[in-house]
Chains A and B, each alone.
Chain A
Amino acid sequence: MHVPDGILPPAVAISGYGISGGITWYCLKQIEKQNNPQAQIPRSSLLTAAFFVASSIHIPIPPISIHLILNGLVGALLGYYAFPAILIGLFFQAVMFGHGGLSTLGINGIIMGVPALFAGYLFRFRYLFKTNKKMLQNVLVFAIGCGTLLISAALFTTIVLTNISPDFNSELERNAIFISLFAYSIQAIIEGSITVAIISFLERVKPQLLEGN
């Protein structure tokens, strides 16, 4: 779900950098307002590296396999650090493996990072549910994992297909968006389920990890 170099018109790529820069500035301002923000830097950095590594795990859906994106979980655990963390992850992927690209780093940051920030906001609402209503908490976490990926997929397909060429057949464009979203919805269900399982695991094993957001 990374837009590679050379696909988008420069106006979109440059706007992507502008918007990403603005969102990063806002996130950094919010981070600076926190009590001792420096203490969170090693935690966020190592979790960024852990998410980067975890995204290499392949999930088999015969005859293909997919890799996890986990931007909902990144948002839930890192809060305002999620956007810079995702930008760093995308930068590493572009430099190390050629996934995505340098000119499209800003737009890819928006595709992955903005839904992650929303996931962070939503995750704070889980405290509204009473502890005995575990089911409701799980539904919320599933919605975060699943919804985040679907929003990213919708942004990705819409940005790519509407900008690739003005000559693109509009009916075909609409159909392609729906087909892509259907394919991504399968991955979204898997991401939602895994997010629920990971959050449950962390609640049992290391609840402090969930307190950073």
Chain B
Amino acid sequence: MRSSFEGYANLSSPIHQWEQKSKIVALLSLIFAFAFVKELVLLPAMILVTASLYILSRLPLSFLLSRLRYPGLFIVGAILFLPFAVGNKIIFSIGFLEIRQEGCLLVGLITVRFICIFTVSLVLFGTAPFLSTIKAMRSLGLPNILIDMMLLAYRYLAELAEMLDKMQLAMKLRGFRFKNLNGRNLNTIASLIGTLLVRSYDRSVLVYQAMILRGYGYQKYNFKNNNKINKISYFASIITLIIAFSLIVAEFLIV
């Protein structure tokens, strides 16, 4: 279940050396700037910035391609649907199907925007351990309850996924095959999910007791991030914020 998005978190690259807190602020600004872009003229600039970031991060191309597979299905859906549904200017027709110019341009815009935002997200979270990301979020002021829930959920994700796999394997060994949708099979699946919830609940009681014994709730956290911002982080953040701001300004000027 725990995906291999942390597999390249410890490489040595300028992006990996970029301190996570400032990286989150700068790259999230860039993601929103990309979301602002509607003018096709700006797409090459977006692609250039994204490609530069990815190359600088030294993440392998196979990592990006393997992760694009599932979300790419939505884009395939858009490509198959939008050229026929959006716009008035018909550029090609096959029988009753009419391909429209506005729809084709929209597909291009959505695809480029999606791939660029997806790639930047991958650079943001794939170039640091997830724990560093959560610590950075805490120092950025995310509420403690959210952070604690996120940490605990992440900690037990792989364990619960393994538990589910074992239970599903046990069901198969007892002859359960979920090929048809009927009441009996749905009841079996409901019992499987129910068992998973009960085991998680029982586990959470023990986890809470262990946390109390370690002083959870009685200590004050020091949320201040003591990591001093290094030169790479400083320059990378400034440059990224300038690029993000320029894209938004260019979008307004072109309109």
Contact = CB atoms under 8 A, between A and B. Distances in A.
Interface of A: 4-10, 13-14, 24, 28, 31, 37-39, 41-50, 52-54, 56-57, 59-62, 68, 70, 77, 81, 84-85, 87-89, 91-92, 94-99, 101-103, 164-165, 167-169, 172, 176, 190, 193-194, 197-198, 200-202, 205-206, 208-209
Given A88-B149, A209-B198, A103 B181 contact: no
A24 to B, nearest CB: 7
Contacts, number: 233
A17 B223 CA distance: 23
B152 A197 contact: no
8 contacts: A9-B35, A50-B196, A96-B3, A98-B70, A102-B28, A103-B35, A164-B82, A206-B201
Interface string B224-238: 000000000000000
A206 B75 CA distance: 43
B102 A53 contact: no
Nearest to A173: B85
A70 B56 CA distance: 40
A55 B178 CA distance: 16
Given A46-B207, A50-B196, A194-B189, A14 B32 contact: yes
Interface in B1-20: 1-3, 5
Given A9-B38, A57-B164, A91-B150, 13 more contacts: A7-B78, A7-B110, A9-B35, A45-B150, A46-B200, A49-B200, A50-B160, A60-B181, A70-B193, A102-B31, A167-B86, A168-B85, A209-B198
A6 B110 contact: yes
Closest 7 CB pairs of A and B: A197-B190, A6-B113, A6-B114, A45-B152, A201-B194, A5-B117, A50-B200
Contacts of A70: 193
Contacts of A44: 149
Given A41-B148, A42-B211, A202-B194, A53 B157 contact: yes
Contact of A47 (B28, B179, B190, B200): B200
Contact of B197 (A41, A68, A77, A81): A77
B138 interface: no
Contact of A96 (B2, B186, B199, B204): B2
A60 B198 contact: no
Nearest to B71: A98
Nearest to A176: B85
A103 B27 CA distance: 11
B176 interface: no
B152 A84 contact: no
B60 interface: no
B110 to A, nearest CB: 5
A45 B153 CA distance: 5
Interface string B155-196: 011001101100000000000001111010011011111101
B5 A95 contact: yes
Contacts of B68: 98
The A interface is mostly helix, strand or loop, or mixed, namely helix
Contact of B180 (A10, A41, A43, A60): A60
B121 interface: yes
A196 B229 CA distance: 53
Nearest to A27: B145
Contacts of B153: 45-46, 48-49, 52, 85, 88-89, 92
A41 B211 CA distance: 11
Contacts of A37: 145
A81 B146 CA distance: 10
Contacts of B208: 39, 41-43
B207 A42 contact: yes
A167 B204 CA distance: 51
Q: Which of A10, A44, A60 has the most CB of B within 10 A?
A: A10
Nearest to A8: B35
Nearest to B85: A172
Given A4-B74, A194-B193, A60 B86 contact: no
Nearest to A95: B125
B190 A198 contact: yes
B106 interface: yes
Contacts of B160: 46, 49-50, 53
Nearest to A44: B149
